[in-house]
């Protein structure tokens, strides 16, 4: 691929990536073959050791942030001060595939395709980070102002969350740009400029037990199950259809008695058809594209829950999860620079994918620190989080070139 508009250094960067794509593939196979399920702490650290050696060779100062305090393996942070704007690169070392999964190894299907646990989510993105930085160094661009954070618990975040993401947020302070190397929508024509945040809710309902023949009387009321149904349908009537907002009751229990284990998200209920239900519980998630949308949705849900039917009481509680990455002018401007690099490379335009197709990710945690963020620029493929996770290996070099040229051009901005 010949750069359509490029300096001599940009051509050198592109040529290096072509010449060393085999090395990038070998590194990808190596790390995919190390199990690093989020709870395989030794495996996560082993993958971190591989990448740490790469950053050390590039002259970065690398640190392993121990995760004992948040019950996970920890994170790799690699820092390289330099000229120009400060750039944060974000990856993660863990996968959803624990050691007991039958899906464990890298397997080449053909010249352009391979499968493997975490091959696109997101060990491929981690390899792209390393290879792009190698290309810059080979082109004598040794002074990029970069910090890399590869978290060890993106797929199953440690608790408390504030500790689990402290290293990432600290690295983001003072950064002008942040680039996330998740696989995103799996299509190189798109990148991510907005992600919906996730949170959860629990609805607990109490009613007065009585013989079913007396239900609806003014001194008996409607029972817990009718009340729970009213609240859930109220959520639907008041909130369904709002752009980028979704809410889903994923589990419901109700009856005379309810046993519920929130940590395991399971339980049991017992009751009889001739007894008015005394207890009911529901749990669900809530996804929003901004803090304002989250607060507005929660306020409406609380309002619905508070209007209880006779002789019932609904209690609604919320638990924060991943924050949202709201669409901003800074994000759009950074995407425009990435798009320009892609078109100059001859790879075509890159536009923003809808937030409805972008799940939660680590970049959202730095939205309060960094004005310009894009994500989803890692290795492309399909079926991540499944035993069919497959990489389009033809995008390894093209995605690396896009990232490397963007880094080079950001480095030259004042």
Q: Look over the chain and give the mean of its residue pLDDT values, rounded to a whole number.
A: 96
Q: Tell me: the pLDDT tens digits for 201-251?
A: 999 999 999 999 999 999 999 999 999 999 999 999 999 999 999 999 999
Residue 357 in this model has a pLDDT that exceeds 90: no
State the alpha helices, DSSP H only, in 3-157: 8-19, 21-32, 41-57, 124-138
Task: Average the pLDDT over each of 2-11, 68-77, 355-364, 394-403 and give the range with the smallest value.
Answer: 2-11
Q: What's the CA gap between 165 and 203, in Å, rounded?
A: 28
- DSSP class per residue in 339-400: HHHHHHTTS---EEPPGGG----GGGGGTTT-SEEEB--S--EE-TTSTT-EEETHHHHHHH
Task: Give me the mean pLDDT over the 260-282 stretch.
Answer: 93
Residue 186 in this model has a pLDDT that exceeds 80: yes
Task: Give me the mean pLDDT over the 309-337 stretch.
Answer: 96
3-state secondary structure 214-241: HCCCCCCCCHHHHHHHHHHHHHHHHHCC
Residue 296: its pLDDT value, please? Answer: 98
Q: What's the CA gap between 402 and 350, in Å, rounded?
A: 10
- DSSP class per residue in 184-206: TTS-TTEEBS-B-EEEEEEEEEE
Residue 262 in this model has a pLDDT that exceeds 90: no
Task: Give me the mean pLDDT over the 115-131 stretch.
Answer: 98
In order of their start, the domains of the chain are: 8-195+325-411 (3.40.630.10), 197-320 (3.30.70.360)
Residue 137: its pLDDT value, please? Answer: 97
Confidence bin at 1 (pLDDT 50/70/90): very low
Bridge-based pairing state of the strands 177-180 and 83-92:
parallel
Sort residue 107 into left (φ over 0), alpha (ψ -120 to 50) or beta.
beta
* pTM for this prediction: 0.90
Q: What's the CA gap between 36 and 196, in Å, rounded?
A: 26
Confidence bin at 265 (pLDDT 50/70/90): confident
Residue 6: its pLDDT value, please? Answer: 62
What is the token pair recorded at 314?
Answer: 């609904």
Residue 3: its pLDDT value, please? Answer: 53
Q: What's the CA gap between 15 and 21, in Å, rounded?
A: 10
Residue 7 in this model has a pLDDT that exceeds 80: no
* Residue 170, burial from CB neighbour count under 10 angstroms (0-12, 13-18, 19+): middle
The set of residues, in sequence order, having a beta carbon less than 8 Å from that of 363 and lying 6+ positions away, is 90, 178, 180, 182, 192, 195, 325, 373, 375
Q: What's the CA gap between 31 and 135, in Å, rounded?
A: 20
Residue 385 in this model has a pLDDT that exceeds 50: yes
Task: Average the pLDDT over each of 3-7, 97-101, 117-121 and give the range with the smallest value.
Answer: 3-7
Q: What's the CA gap between 378 and 400, in Å, rounded?
A: 8
Bridge-based pairing state of the strands 372-374 and 177-180:
parallel
């Amino acid at each position: 691929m010949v750069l359509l508009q490029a300096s001599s250094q940009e051509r050198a960067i592109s040529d290096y990536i072509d010449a060393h794509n085999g090395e990038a593939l070998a590194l990808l196979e190596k790390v995919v073959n190390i199990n690093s399920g989020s709870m395989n702490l030794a495996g996560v650290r082993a993958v971190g050791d591989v990448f740490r050696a790469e950053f050390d060779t590039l002259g970065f100062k690398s640190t392993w942030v121990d995760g004992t305090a948040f019950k996970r393996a920890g994170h790799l942070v690699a820092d390289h001060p330099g000229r120009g704007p400060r750039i944060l690169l974000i990856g993660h070392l863990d996968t959803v595939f624990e050691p007991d999964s039958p899906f464990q190894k890298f397997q080449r299907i053909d010249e352009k395709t391979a499968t493997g646990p975490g091959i696109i989510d997101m060990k491929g993105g981690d390899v792209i980070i390393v290879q792009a930085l190698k290309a810059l160094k080979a082109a004598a661009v040794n002074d990029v102002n970069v910090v890399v954070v590869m978290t060890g618990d993106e797929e199953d975040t440690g608790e408390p969350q504030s500790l689990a993401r402290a290293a990432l947020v600290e690295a983001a302070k003072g950064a002008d740009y942040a680039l996330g190397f998740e696989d995103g929508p799996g299509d190189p024509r798109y990148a991510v400029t907005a992600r919906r945040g996730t949170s959860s809710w629990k609805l607990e309902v109490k009613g007065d037990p009585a013989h079913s023949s007396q239900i609806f009387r003014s001194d008996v009321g409607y029972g817990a199950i009718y009340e729970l149904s009213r609240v859930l349908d109220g959520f639907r009537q008041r909130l369904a259809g709002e752009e980028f907002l979704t809410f889903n009751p994923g589990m419901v229990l109700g009856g005379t008695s309810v046993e519920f284990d929130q940590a395991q998200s399971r339980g049991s209920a017992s009751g009889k058809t001739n007894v008015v239900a005394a207890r009911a519980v529901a749990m669900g998630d809530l996804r929003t594209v901004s803090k304002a949308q989250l607060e507005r949705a929660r306020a409406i849900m609380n309002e619905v829950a508070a209007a209880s039917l006779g002789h019932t009481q609904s209690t609604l509680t919320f638990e924060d999860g991943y924050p949202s990455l709201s669409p901003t002018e800074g994000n759009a401007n950074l995407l425009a620079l990435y798009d320009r690099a892609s078109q100059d490379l001859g790879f075509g335009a890159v536009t923003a994918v809808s937030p409805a197709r972008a799940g939660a990710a680590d970049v959202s945690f730095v939205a309060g620190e960094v004005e310009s963020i894009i994500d989803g620029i890692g290795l492309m493929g399909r079926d991540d989080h499944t035993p069919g996770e497959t990489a389009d290996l033809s995008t390894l070099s093209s995605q690396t070139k896009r990232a490397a040229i963007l880094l080079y051009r950001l480095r030259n901005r004042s």
